[in-house]
Each structure stands twice: as C-alpha cells, then as structure tokens.
Amino acid sequence: MANARLVYQSRVRGCLLGGAIGDALGAPIEFDSTLRIRQRYGTAGITSLVPDNSGHLGLITDDTQMTLFTAEALIRANVRAHSVSGELGGGDSRTGYGDDREGWLGLGGDEADIVHRAYLRWLDTQQYPGPPPQDDGIRNGWLRRQHWLYSRRAPGNACLSGLSHRRFRGAAPEFGCPGPVNSGSKGCGTVIRSAPFGLAAETPRHAFELAAECAQITHGHPTGYIAAGALAALVNVLRQGLPLREAVEATLDLLVTYPAHEETANALQSAIALAGRGDPTPEKIESLGGAWIAEEALAISVYCALVAGQPEEMRRALLLAVNHSGDSDSTGAICGNILGALHGDQALPADWLVPLEGRAVITELADDFAIEFSGPDVKDLWGAKYPGD
C-alpha cells in the first residue's frame, strides 16, 4: 500500500510538473510559425527552454494556472465530500490505493460548483495585480495567495468571457447537446485544464464525465467538452499503470459510447495512424491541425507522446509537442500532463525543472493532492488551506 501511494504521488507530480514544463517550453513560440521558429532557433527549432520576449525563462501561462486551480478545486471538493459523508454517517470517499475503501471524489455532489468557484479565483489572477482581499465566499484558500500567479499570459477568450458573467451555469445539459455558456466554442481551453480530473477520479468514466461537465463552465460546444473528458479519461487510465498505446485505445473505446464523440474520436484515430508513419516532423504534426481547438490540441499531444513515449524520451516528446506553427504552449502542456502521469516525476528533465516558475508551489499542491486522494484522512489538518467550498 505504501509503495502504491508513492507511485501515485510520483504520477501526480509528474502530471502537474510535466504539464508546467511543456507549457513554459512552448510559451515563447506560441504564436510563431514553424518557419519563424527555424529562422530564429535553427532547423531543429528550440532545443531547450528559451527566454520569452522580456528575457524571462521558464514562465508558465494560463494553461498551468487553470490546471492548478482545477487541482485545488478537486481537493476542496473531496474535503466537502468528507464533511457531507461524515454528517450522514458515511465512509471515506477516497480513490483507495491498496485498501478496500470505495467511492471517488465529490460524494457531496457539489463538484462543478466548487470547480466554478476555483475558476473565479483564477479569473482574479487575470484582473488584479495581486490577491484581492479575502472573503467568506470565493476568495479564500491558499492557492489564490500565491503572488506569482497574478500574471496575464494570453488567456483564452472563452475562458475569460465564460467566467466574466460570474453566474453559475446551472445543471449541465445531456452530453451531445450545446452547453449554456459559449455554446459555439470548442477552444482548447477545455483540455488544457482537465488532467487533474483523471488523477482524482476512481474510474475513467467518472473522470470523463466530471471533466466534460466542468468544461461547460466556459465552453459549450460538445466537441470542446468531450475532448476535455477524453484527456481526463486518458490520464486516469495512465495513472493506473496501463501502457500508453493501450491507454489511448481504452480511451477511444470509452469515448465512442458518448454522443458527439465523432470529431474527438476521429482526431485521436488520426494521431494513432500518423504515429505509425515514420519519423515525426512539424509538418506531420500540423497535418493534425493547429491545436487552437480542443480535439486538435488533444490529438497533437497524444501523437507526440506516442512517437516518443519512453521515459528517457520525455525531453524529445515535449520538444516535438512545441516545435510547430500551432498553439505550442497548450500542446506542450497536454503532452507533459500525459507523459508525466505515465512515467512519474522521475522522467522529467531536471534542468528544465530548475528555472520553472512556481515549481515549489506546484510540487506542494501535487503532494497535497496525492495525500488527499490516497493517504489517511487529513481534512482536519488542511484548515483554511483547502476549505470545502
């Protein structure tokens, strides 16, 4: 049991830190074409972390910011679930590693509301120079107090507009129907923040459905939220130890059981097929799309993971994921989430971790997450760090 918990902790760290590394790697070239990248950095493109236009190295973007607030929300949802379960005389709601505890996160039934509140805390980081005063509603907890998060790094328009109304969405529609907010948007902002659902949920289906529901907080196009669910399901299968190719196939098998799966399934099938067609190039990557929309970002990230999926190839995979004309930081982040969940934090390039913005906070959040979902009941120790709302 102790060993299983250490493996889980390593996968959580790998997923969150790997995503942050990929994000920071791709951010300086996010809006550059392959031609521009080659002209500036050589025919191989970037080969390591490079400074942004202001000379800073290792800065993350909104992709990592939102992922961290998702992770925080899931801890808080589980704290809430424990409280509700305790009030009702129920048992523990943890995923359960090496023991016979059953259930999964969020038995309190308020997961989407808690995630929505977390994203409103993220919205503060885009609108204020530092943490606004604490209140008893949304503005509380530990993560929002991290000053380095208060930086606007090209956030997605749908994420901003979807949250700016500051209204709760209400009940999500049936899968396959347009959601109530930004019903025509399927931007990749749904996918880039959804890996933590896969780390927390007990089963791939639970991960898929919760991620898809919470994606509709900002994006209502069915493909946008279905692709988010697919990433969460894939991460869930990987953190349980399935090899990458089998995990992708298992995710596809689950995906096609939902309506409106076609665009995401077709994109993943194209990624699998392309992975068998010789050495990867930016041009091959771009045949899957520009990654500005959800299913393309997922497909490109999966492709790069498939063609360089061994632990010692993590550096190569992330470089492939960013050296193209599309949304480089998003594909770098998603690929890092996938391979980090697969291999754990030991596979992360150590020299890329050193300058990574917020590394200590990301590691602390990852370890808290691992404790919450695999360790002993510590809800009384979190206090104001992770209130259950």
Binding residues for Mg(2+): 61-63, 327, 329-330
Between CA 56 and CA 92 the distance in angstroms is 44
Where is 108: in which H helix or E strand? Answer: none
Question: Which residues have CB under 8 Å from 121's CB, separation 6+?
Answer: 69, 138, 139, 141, 143, 144
3-state secondary structure 33-73: CHHHHHHHHCCCCCCCCCCCCCCCCCCCCHHHHHHHHHHHH
If you write DSSP's letter for every residue of 310-352 in order, what string do you get? SGGGHHHHHHHHHSSSS-HHHHHHHHHHHHHHHH-GGGS-HHH
Between CA 93 and CA 73 the distance in angstroms is 15
Sign of the Cα pseudo-torsion (271, 275, 281, 283, in order): negative
The residues that bridge with 293 in the sheet, in sequence order, are 187
For the CA atoms of 21, 382, 171, 104, the dihedral, rounded to the nearest 10 degrees, stands at 80
Between CA 142 and CA 128 the distance in angstroms is 17
Between CA 127 and CA 160 the distance in angstroms is 10
Known binding site: residues?
Answer: 61-63, 327, 329-330
Torsional class of 375: left (φ above 0), alpha (ψ -120 to 50), beta (otherwise): beta
Question: Which residues have CB under 8 Å from 318's CB, separation 6+?
Answer: 18, 21, 22, 25, 304, 332, 335, 336, 339, 349
Between CA 263 and CA 201 the distance in angstroms is 25
Between CA 325 and CA 268 the distance in angstroms is 19
Helix (H/G/I), strand (E/B), else coil: 293:
strand
Q: Could you give phi then psi for residue 131, rounded to 5 degrees?
A: -60, 125
Helix (H/G/I), strand (E/B), else coil: 110:
coil
